[in-house]
Amino acid sequence: MIPAFFDSIVALITRTSVDLPPDVRRAMSQALGQEVPTSSGGQALAIIAENIDQAAEGEAPICQDTGMPTFEVKVPVGANQIWMKARIREAVAEATRRGKLRPNSVDSITGKNSGDNLGPGTPIVHFEQWERDDIEVKLILKGGGCENTNAQYALPVELAHLGRADRSLEGVRKCILHAVWQAQGKGCSPGAVGVCIGGDRTSGYLHAKEQLFRTLDDTNPDERLAALEAQVMSTVNTLGVGPMGFGGNVSLIGCKIGVQNRLPASFFVSVAYDCWAFRRLGVVLDATSGAITQWLYRDGDAPSQRMFEPGTVGFVRSGHERVLRTPLDEATVRELKVGDVVLVSGRMYTGRDAVHHHLMSHEPPVDLRGGVLYHCGPVMLKDGETWKVVAAGPTTSIREEPYQADVIGRYGVRAVIGKGGMGAKTLAALKQHGAVYLNAIGGAAQFYARTVDRVEGVSLMEFGVPEAMWHLAVTEFPAIVTMDAHGNSLHKDVEAASGERLGQLAAV
């Protein structure tokens, strides 16, 4: 029995979810300085920076996807790990109840959400003994969008644009560049990669994720790996993927590489991609009381450095924004062009994986004609009979690619909002039916929550909070047209241009 252990873990989860660590803030500030403020990438980073400040101020999740909670715990010899694991699980459930974590644990077969982030394999807790008297707990919250962009390569391998990656550090370099290019904006770039050279398929991914517990500004103690990290960072940002995949000067804010022994027959390179919302913190606890004696990854007890001065907003309007009021008509939508910034007001409906799958075989529960469908799985809290939006940024749209064209065509949806862009089938449907794809800024959950005036209803609640169809009344929700009704796609263009650049980096 360690009396303060539970409260300390709740505090760790809360702060990890709401307050980005100083090394990530510094990297994002530098990124902000490298993009042209009026460019799409510059505007995206400004919204992100504003969102970081809003989350810390309001003690609310930086991003609505609070990810898979992964704890790395070091304990003195003889400590009761069974008891600690039980308290960590209780703390996760409590943080979920308080709206600091989104209920993210679903039954893999039925899709049913457990509602408290507990279930087989959730959360992930790893224990290790050490020869110290105190307890160290580190936590990372890595969301699904960036998790889906992880990549694993079995060398030698032929890579698009880069040619053959051999079993060498040069081959590893090619794999890392390929992974960053392949992720485009789907993992909410600019991101950071943890890389493992070697291991087996399982331990490789684990060790890659462990690299994300290093600070972005540290130096690898292995000189060979330090040189490779520096080499990657010196060239990767010329790829032009840019913030959110909009194109630009910053695609990656960190590259951390580890190595594990391997079987002679295998040579894996595992890449764990984390988004800009790089949430990891740690605490040292007194082993008797469980009280926090030290925060890890923070600058002592100093409060977090703000991204902007108080009163400064990140998203500055140019006056050229297109104002859209829902429901939308076809003529208005067909006037929009890639690159237009829009401000959406009126009602929009959230819908992600479960809703799209449902709409393939059921009529929608609401009239979607002229409607705006928002790829979003929000964090919500119920206050009496009223639902309140706690966090509501966009989710990765490409998962809906198999369904989106049918949903647009059958039900008359005029605008889809998400992040990371969609594919050729959706692009063709936008053209055929007169609809647009609007890219909101991934992870900017606090920024977008503030555009929601009220929750006007909810349908399909049986899918759980993140997957339900929420009816949101919004005012001036900003987004960028990245796929229009004329067959243009910024995502397609950036992928092609950055692919060409990737080819040039093959020999660098």
Does 145 engage in binding with ligand SF4 (CB under 6 A)? yes
Q: How far is CA 4 from the centre of its chain?
A: 31
Rounded to an integer, what distance in angstroms lies between the CA atom of residue 70 and that of residue 77? Answer: 22
Stretch that binds ligand SF4, among 138-146, 253-261, 317-325, 355-363 (CB under 6 A): 138-146
Cis previous bond, 327, omega within 30:
yes
For 163, which DSSP code?
Answer: E
Kindly tell me which of 146 and 252 has the beta carbon lying closer to ligand SF4: 146
String marking each residue 44-83 x if it binds ligand SF4 according to CB under 6 A: -------------------x-x-x----------------
Q: Is the dihedral of CA 69, 70, 73, 79 positive or negative?
A: positive
185 binds ligand SF4 (CB under 6 A): no
| Comparison of 198 and 442: residue with beta carbon closer to ligand SF4 | 442
Residue placing its CB nearer to ligand SF4 in the complex, 314 or 393: 393
3-state secondary structure of 358: helix
Among 24, 46, 188, 413, binds ligand SF4 (CB under 6 A): 188
Closer CB to ligand SF4, residue 65 or residue 94?
65
Stretch that binds ligand SF4, among 140-148, 176-184, 397-405, 499-507 (CB under 6 A): 140-148
Indicate whether 389 belongs to the interface with ligand SF4 (CB under 6 A): no
Nearest to 250 by CA among 261, 262, 236: 236
How many CB atoms lie under 10 A from the CB of residue 91? 24
CB of 95 to ligand SF4, least distance (A): 16
| Per-residue contact string for residues 426-465; x = within reach of ligand SF4 by CB under 6 A | ----------------xx----------------------
Q: Least CB distance from residue 243 to ligand SF4, whole Å?
A: 11
Q: Does residue 271 belong to the site contacting ligand SF4 (CB under 6 A)?
A: no
143 binds ligand SF4 (CB under 6 A): yes
Nearer to ligand SF4, 146 or 429 (CB): 146
Instruction: Annotate 169-230 with three-state secondary structure.
Output: HHHHHHHHHHHHHHHCCCCCCCEEEEEEEECCHHHHHHHHHHHCCCCCCCCCCCHHHHHHHH
Task: Retrieve residue 314's tokens.
Answer: 């990140």
Spell out the residues 6+ positions from residue 421 whose beta carbon is closer than 8 angstroms to its own. 184, 185, 186, 245, 397, 398, 437, 439, 482, 483, 489, 490, 491, 492
Q: What are the CA-CA distances from residue 29 to residues 175, 250, 276 (Å)?
A: 27, 11, 11
Q: Minimum distance between the CB of residue 245 and ligand SF4, rounded to whole angstroms? A: 11
> Which tokens go with 488?
């243009």
Q: In sequence order, what are the beta bridge partners of 414?
A: none
Question: Is 141 or 372 the residue whose CB approaches ligand SF4 more closely?
Answer: 141
* Other CB atoms within 10 A of residue 368 CB: 22
- Does 355 sit near ligand SF4 (CB under 6 A)? no
Helix (H) or strand (E) run with residue 72 in it: strand 68-76
By beta-carbon proximity to ligand SF4, the closer residue of 68 and 162 is: 68
Which of 187, 248, 258, 434 binds ligand SF4 (CB under 6 A)? It is 187
* Closest distance of CB 274 from ligand SF4, Å: 8
The residues that touch ligand SF4, with contacts defined as CB under 6 A, are: 63, 65, 67, 143-146, 187-188, 275, 277, 393, 395, 442-443
